[in-house]
Amino acid sequence: MKPLPEEAGCVVVGAGIMGLSVAYNLARLGVERIVVVDRGYLCGGASGRNGGGVRAQWSSETNIRLMKRSIKICDEFATRFGINVWFREAGYLFLARGEERAKQLAQSCALQREHGLPTRILDAADVKKLAPELDTSRVVAASYNPSDGVVFPWPFVWGYARECARLGVEVHTHTAVHAIEETAGKVTGVVTDRGRVRAPQVICAAGAWSPELTRTVGVELPSHPHRHEICSTEPLKPFLKPFVGDLATGLYFSQSMRGEIVGGISNAEVPEGLDQGSSLRFLALYARSLQRAMPRLGAVRILRQWSGCYDITPDGNPLVGPVDEMEGLVLTSGFMGHGFMMAPIMGELLARYLLHGEERELFERWNLRRYREGNLLSETMILG
């Protein structure tokens, strides 16, 4: 392992896709002496434990607009970074099993179409044509955007890490940050298990670990970790094109390039805190729901099960931008379970904002102070 530098211009805490995207884009714009530190290995956190979905189907204008741009980066990533991310434009299919949910999907669909997405509302017969194996007996309506997609997550992280190294960014894995240091309300660096790094700016991209990190300088975040589990089956012959999601139960699943059915479901009864274990309760919830949605999968064997931590905020929107109470501390956390798909565009926009003040409206909207001021936001299209 390379020794940690004693001083840096900027320290990014978290070498997941969010932290690496920010570091890469800062370096690309000319920032020097960037150091990225992570407590584990590349892809050891949420970036290596997610389902790989990327979508522009959202219920808020901000998320729709951002994800259109992020999907474009995903689509071009292999060419730009020279690494195959297995991007597959398969579409997202959201199912509604009640009139109220169908109404919400219709409203979101109208907003998405206003922003140029080809999303359309389907009835049960249309759903059956798109995914014949689905049980549509209880489906009232669905929304489908064919330009949403699925990727293999790990190459994104590796691609950003490689480009960071090429641009002179130091990435130090297996380096746990114990605390952020400050003097008179200004960040002065970080303390790690391998020594101190002095820096005037610390970017917190630690996902579900962010609240315990910012607490070391007296900054309380409203977010909290929540264990989310995923399951993968044995590989099957390709038969399922879209990524299927049910907003009522949080069930989602898709078929990977290798043929496995990969998915998860909401599970409220999980231990509090940073727990990445696995449970039989999840497996039972997921198996029953998956079999109801697609009966033919009832006899399929489970290959493996794993979990990661969602970074949950009260209003379902992230915490991004400088912290008023601590000069030099910047947040990019609280992305629920959707930080992976938003990281390509968020890294680019945050770098431009920090250096040139661009996209100020977005970062004012997602600033931590909204909780103090009572300006909470709304996003209803959240899975898991």
Q: Tell whether 125 and 191 lie within a shared domain.
A: no
Write out pLDDT tens, residues 162-213.
999 999 999 999 999 999 999 999 999 999 999 999 999 999 999 999 999 9
Q: Are 168 and 277 part of one and the same domain? A: no
378, part of any domain = no
116 and 16 inside one domain: no
Given a cut of 80, whether residue 384 has pLDDT beyond it is no
Which CATH number fits the domain that encloses residue 118?
3.30.9.10
How would residue 60 be classed by pLDDT, with cut points 50, 70 and 90?
very high
For residue range 138-150, list pLDDT tens digits in order: 999 999 999 999 9
| 180 and 118 together in one domain | no
Domain that holds residue 298: 90-148+225-311
Q: 10 near 201, Cβ under 8 Å?
A: yes
Q: Which of 311, 335, 363 is the last residue of a domain?
A: 311
Confidence check: pLDDT of 248 > 90? no
Question: 0.75 cut: is pTM over it?
Answer: yes
Mean pLDDT of the chain: 95
What are the respective helix, strand and coil percentages of the chain, to the nearest 5?
Answer: 35, 25, 40
pLDDT-derived band of residue 128, with 50, 70 and 90 as boundaries? very high
> Are the beta carbons of 141 and 122 closer than 8 angstroms?
yes
User: How many separate domains does the chain show?
Assistant: 2
230 pLDDT more than 80? yes
* Phi, psi dihedrals of residue 110, rounded to the nearest 5°: -60, -45
What does the pLDDT read at residue 168? Answer: 98
Whole-number CA gyration radius for the chain: 21
Per-residue pLDDT averaged across 274-302, rounded?
Answer: 94
Surface-to-core class of residue 27, CB atoms within 10 Å of its CB (0-12 exposed, 13-18 middle, 19+ buried): buried
